[in-house]
Amino acid sequence: MSDEKLFVSFICTSCRQEIEASASMIGQTVECPACGTHLVVKPPEQTPTQAQLDAMKSRTIRIELSDL
């Protein structure tokens, strides 16, 4: 396995902003950085392809543990 941190991507149910958070945050409640809605970080429903991961990087807001 790679040394890179694993992240999960999910969509805000209120504003539809795509958000990325550390996989270690699964199950935690976070605030959407775009609209402030409180969301629970959920595990991904399927593993994204590399092309999907590359596309996400240009439109995703990442939540770091220090942001909480």
**Mean pLDDT computed over 2-13:** 76
**DSSP states of 9-64 as a string?**
EEE-TTT--EEEEEGGGTT-EEE-TTT--EEE----SSPPPHHHHHHHHTT-EEEP
Q: Which domain holds residue 61?
A: 7-67
pLDDT tens digits, one per residue of 41-61: 988 777 667 776 777 677 767
Q: Does residue 42 belong to any structural domain of this protein?
A: yes
Residue 2 maps to a domain: no
Residue 40 resides in a domain: yes
- Decide: 65 and 25 in contact? Cβ < 8 Å: yes
The predicted model scores a pTM of 0.59
Instruction: Give the number of domains in the chain.
Output: 1
- What pLDDT, on the 0 to 100 scale, is given for residue 33? 92
Pairing of the two strands 29-31 and 38-40? antiparallel
57 inside domain: yes
DSSP state of 6: P
Is 14 inside a domain boundary? Answer: yes
* 10-44 residue pLDDT tens: 888 899 898 889 999 999 999 999 999 999 998 87
